Amino acid sequence: MKTKIDLVESTSGDITLYTLTNGQGASVRLSSLGAGIVSIVVPDKDGRLADVALGYADPKDYFYDGPCAGKTPGRYANRIARGKFTLDGVDYQLNINNGPNALHGGPEGFSHKIWECSMEGDTVVFTLDSPDGDEHYPGNLQARVAYTWTDENVLKIELGAVTDRKTIVNLTNHTYFNLAGEDAGSALDHLLQLNCSRYLPTDETLIPTGEMAPVAGTPMDFTQPKRLGQDIKQDFPALNYGKGYDNCWVIDGAEDGQLHTAAVLSDPTSGRVLEVITDQPAAQVYTGNWLAGSPVSKSGRSYNDYDGVAIECQGMPDAPNHDNFPSQVLNPDEDYRRVIFFAFKTK
């Protein structure tokens, strides 16, 4: 594995960029800003390399970007209703930054921080200390994200956290994929299959109602490969609320805590296939419904809506307020450990 390290100055400190290139010439580029992925270059069915991760020309543009492109949101990824939750009888009020709700850890969440970074062998490790009261979350929490890139074009993401006080945590990766290439335009012709027979209906602010509803007979059914754009314009509450898909699916069998294939995304033209494997309980699929107006991309333009799709393996949104959802509570004597694999193939 070849490793290249670059530094970019910013007003908040140096941003460290790691480029890992395997024996096939395929590469990933990682940033200490938001512990994020800024590039994934992989071959198509004819061996031609292209960058399939949406991202920006200027590494500094990842600060406070609306799309949260490629980064690690936290302390709690996704939404918490009205920013409120209760632990052991104590009520907490988080900062609000998404309509009436808290999203991705708040306006100063993990995705806007420059993380500490190092190499452990061929693995890039990012760590962040989040103090007690950070965005009004309890407990001193240390988060860790480790990336390993293999010669088989598999990117392993290990997510971890420890705390000195009972708290909540939900970490994921927020990369937007376009398997035809990051400058190829709309991703709505991609095929998506989800190992998910249920999804989480929401209110109009995208907060789960608490129900886990069957996908059968609805536009939310991706149990067989289906074009992302096939049903996206249907008159259906979930699609109307988010101007497309921005919903959480329950991964079948995930209650056993083992690895499961959550999703398979494919681009018929290039032949690229992405398999997403995780031990997380759920996957949020977001079809980039609000990408327009994003910072200038690596190709010199702002992306348009639907130019990429994010598949965010995570705990369920608003889980602290739903006893029937898997718990995202972390105690001082526990280690939060989750893993996501992005495996790139061709057919």
Q: What is the pLDDT of residue 119?
A: 97
pLDDT by residue (tens digit) across 27-73? Answer: 999 999 999 999 999 999 999 999 999 999 999 999 999 999 999 99
pLDDT digits (tens, 9 = 90+) for 130-147: 999 999 999 999 999 999
Tokens representing 104?
């991705």
Say what the pLDDT of residue 286 is.
98
pLDDT band at 177 (very low <50, low <70, confident <90, very high): very high
Average pLDDT, the chain: 98
Residue-wise pLDDT tens digits, 220-268: 999 999 999 999 999 999 999 999 999 999 999 999 999 999 999 999 9
Report pLDDT digits (tens) over 179-216: 999 999 999 999 999 999 999 999 999 999 999 999 99
The model's confidence at residue 160, banded by pLDDT at 50, 70 and 90, is very high
Q: What is the pLDDT of residue 322?
A: 98
Residue 29 has a pLDDT of 98
Per residue in 303-343, pLDDT tens?
999 999 999 999 999 999 999 999 999 999 999 999 999 99
Calpha distance 193→205 (Å, rounded): 26
CA distance 288 to 229: 12
In the chain, where the domains are located: 2-346
pLDDT bracket for residue 83 (50, 70, 90):
very high
* CATH topology assigned to domain 2-346: Beta-galactosidase; Chain A, domain 5 (2.70.98)
Q: What is the 3-state secondary structure (H, E, C) of the chain?
A: CEEEEEEECCCCCCEEEEEEECCCCCEEEEECECCEEEEEEEECCCCCEEECECCECCHHHHCCCCCCCCCCCCCECCEEHHHEEEECCEEEECCCCECCEEECCCCCCHHHCECEEEEECCEEEEEEEECCCHHHCCCCEEEEEEEEECCCCEEEEEEEEEECCCEECECCCCCEECCCCCCCCCCCCCEEEECCCEECCECCCCCECCCCEECCCCCCCCCCCEECCCCCCCCCHHHHHHCCCEEEEECCCHHHCCCEEEEEEECCCCCEEEEEEECCCEEEEECCCCCCCCCCECCCCCCCCCCCEEEEEECCCCHHHCCCCCCCEECCCCCEEEEEEEEEEEC
Per-residue pLDDT, 53: 98
- Catalytic residue positions, numbered: 174, 312
Distances (CA, A) of 250 to 213, 223, 263, 274: 9, 12, 11, 19
Using one digit for the tens of pLDDT, what is the confidence trace for 1-37? 999 999 999 999 999 999 999 999 999 999 999 999 9
